[in-house]
Chain A
């Protein structure tokens, strides 16, 4: 969808969260000088377009005890990648599933998924279950647990200029 100036200001106004107030959309509407209904309608449109993937509680999984994180990488024949990619994506504990290029001879894997859990054991068990359930014993894979985060900042959507616009609005 094409974003207009109001959309950009709306995104900037909500990207750090909705107000915890009885009428959060009315608070945003007042900031932007538009109606509450317009805020609600645009948010619905932004969700329908896929630009907003979801709206709700954004949890901090590490704070909630989900410390173990593994990137599991697979070397899947091209003919099977869509089928296996979708199977993995549907798994409960899988939080991302992407196809990426191989870089031979340094890197033979072309399917990546992320698995979070409260402990290394539970992540490993989850991987075993996935392999058993889908008969992936012959697919080469590797498990890369993360051991230290050096940097993590969420991808922000609105640019600083958009935010300044929202603040002015």
Chain B
């Protein structure tokens, strides 16, 4: 149940048979200088951020269950999550879906002359099928993910990108994933 990075970053990592105790689940003060992030977060906030990215309870009162594990009140858990969300530190409490199996996607890249980068990025963004588009430090400097209902549409979009930009696309579809998503590693 523990996030995979925890062993490296927490001094004490105890999950007893029954429930959790926050003092056991947080870094010792001595490590805080290494682990601290440029934000003021309470112990409860750090704990919720780090320990509850998965395994959200499937029971009638899940927030009360978390509260019981952490020895705080349900109201505190709810208020803290609402505050984290309102401050933009979490996007939601909810599911993370596996990549859509019914569809098709690829990672693509372009080698764009520096002075054209913004214009080319805007052309790429113009495709509804593009859901990520990043500049990276490399000769292949614009990287984007194309997602579509099928391979044919992927090839079509890449062809249209080549025509619209006059640049050759590097097409790197996923062949195999080695990673199991256990959440985002914080304080590692």
Contact = CB atoms under 8 A, between A and B. Distances in A.
Given A63-B88, A100-B107, A151 B130 contact: yes
A107 B56 contact: no
A95 B54 contact: no
A4 interface: no
A161 interface: no
A56 interface: yes
Interface residues of A, number: 73
Given A55-B54, A60-B88, A103-B172, A150 B125 contact: yes
A32 interface: no
Interface residues of B, number: 81
Nearest to B79: A20
Contact of A71 (B143, B170, B178, B180): B143
Contact of A97 (B64, B90, B125, B179): B179
Given A92-B188, A149-B134, A25 B93 contact: no
Given A64-B89, A99-B175, A152-B131, A146 B136 contact: yes
Interface of B: 4-5, 8-9, 37-39, 48-49, 52-56, 58-64, 74, 78, 81-82, 84-85, 87-101, 107, 109, 121-122, 124-125, 130-138, 140, 142-144, 147, 168, 170-186, 188
